[in-house]
Amino acid sequence: MSSLYNNAFYFIAGHGRGWAFSANDLLGKFSRAQADNLLSELLKQGKIRRVARGIYDYPKYSELLQKELSPDIEQVSRAYARKFNWKIEVSGDTALNILGLSTQVPGKYIYLSNGPNKSYKILDSMTIEFKKSSLKNIGFKHKESSLIVQALKTLGKDRIDDMVIETIRKKIEPSKYSKILNDTKSSTVWIYETIKKICKVDDNE
C-alpha cells in the first residue's frame, strides 16, 4: 500500500499546488477501489483537502498567513468538467473576479456548460454554478485564454486601459504568454491586440 500511496501522492503533487481533482483523475493509474482508498488515506494524512463532495485539491499554503489558501476556482471547475465529461466556459463576471478586475467579493462563480444546470458548495463558503448554454469560445486549449477573452469581452473595448492590462498581466505566468497568443489568434481584432499587450508583444521588435 505504501508504494501505491507514494505513487498517488507523487502523481497529484506533480500537477502543482492548487490542482483540483476527483477520483476519476486517478483511474488511469489505479483501480476505482484503489483510488478511493488512496484518496481516503491522503486525506487522513493531511496531504490533500476535500473541497466538495467527490472533489479534492492539493492546497496552496501561505507561509505568511500560516494557513492553506482558498481553493483555485478555475481548477475546481475543471475538475468537475473532467469528472462529468462536460465542456465549460467561464462567464464574463466570474472571469473579471478571477483576474482581479472586479472589486466585488463573489459568493458564487458561474460557468457555462454543455451539461445540466448544477450548483455545488465549495468548502461551505463559495458556490460554483454551471449553467447549460451554447458555448462559443470552447475552442481554447488553455484556461487562461478563455479567462482573458471573456473578461475583455465583458469589459468592452472602451474600458480597456493600462491598469486593466497590467492587472491581467500580474495574474498570468510569463511562461504561458506564447501559448495564449497562439490560442487566441482567431479572437476579435481588438481583443487579440489587447492580449498582445498583456503578453508584452511589440510589433516593432
Nearest to 180 by CA among 137, 136, 146: 146
Let me know whether 79 and 26 are in one domain: no
Rounded mean pLDDT, 120-127:
91
- Number of domains present in the structure of the chain: 2
pLDDT band at 31 (very low <50, low <70, confident <90, very high): very high
Asked if residue 137 has pLDDT above 60, the reply is: no
Let me know whether 39 and 79 are in one domain: no
- Within a domain: 67: no
- Within a domain: 68: no
Let me know whether 136 and 157 are in one domain: yes
What's residue 205's pLDDT?
A: 45
Nearest to 35 by CA among 12, 60, 58, 59: 12
Question: Tens digit of pLDDT for each residue in 76-111?
Answer: 999 999 999 999 989 999 999 999 998 776 789 999
- Within a domain: 192: yes
Q: Are the CB atoms for 57 and 19 separated by under 8 Å? A: yes
Let me know whether 26 and 52 are in one domain: yes
Rounded Cα–Cα distance for residues 100 and 106 (Å): 11
Mean residue pLDDT of the chain comes to 91
Nearest to 168 by CA among 185, 151, 180: 151
Let me know whether 120 and 188 are in one domain: yes
Name the E strands within 47-178: 49-52, 55-57, 61-62, 67-68, 88-90, 108-113, 118-122, 126-132
CATH of the domain at 40: 1.10.10.10
- Within a domain: 204: no
Rounded mean pLDDT, 34-40:
95
Let me know whether 108 and 184 are in one domain: yes
Q: Are the CB atoms for 42 and 50 separated by under 8 Å? A: no
Rounded Cα–Cα distance for residues 93 and 157 (Å): 16
Beta strands 108-113 and 88-90, pairing class: antiparallel
Q: Are the CB atoms for 48 and 66 separated by under 8 Å? A: no
Rounded mean pLDDT, 185-200:
93
Let me know whether 147 and 83 are in one domain: yes
Let me know whether 57 and 15 are in one domain: yes
Length of the chain: 205
What is the C-alpha end-to-end distance of the chain, expressed in Å? Answer: 56
Q: Which of 19, 42, 62 is the last residue of a domain?
A: 62
Cell of 73: 476556482
Rounded mean pLDDT, 148-162:
95
- Within a domain: 96: yes
Let me know whether 107 and 39 are in one domain: no
Give the least confident one: 85-94, 120-129, 194-203.
194-203
Let me know whether 103 and 164 are in one domain: yes
Asked if residue 35 has pLDDT above 90, the reply is: yes
The reply to whether the predicted model has a pTM over 0.75 is: yes
| Domain limits for position 151 | 73-198
Q: Are the CB atoms for 154 and 95 separated by under 8 Å? A: yes
- Within a domain: 82: yes
What's residue 45's pLDDT?
A: 94
Helices (H), 53-156: 73-84, 92-98, 143-155
| Location of C-alpha cell 466556459 | 89
Let me know whether 103 and 183 are in one domain: yes
Let me know whether 34 and 87 are in one domain: no
Q: What is the gyration radius of the CA atoms in the chain, in angstroms?
A: 18
What's residue 24's pLDDT?
A: 97
- Within a domain: 205: no
- Within a domain: 127: yes
Rounded Cα–Cα distance for residues 14 and 170 (Å): 24
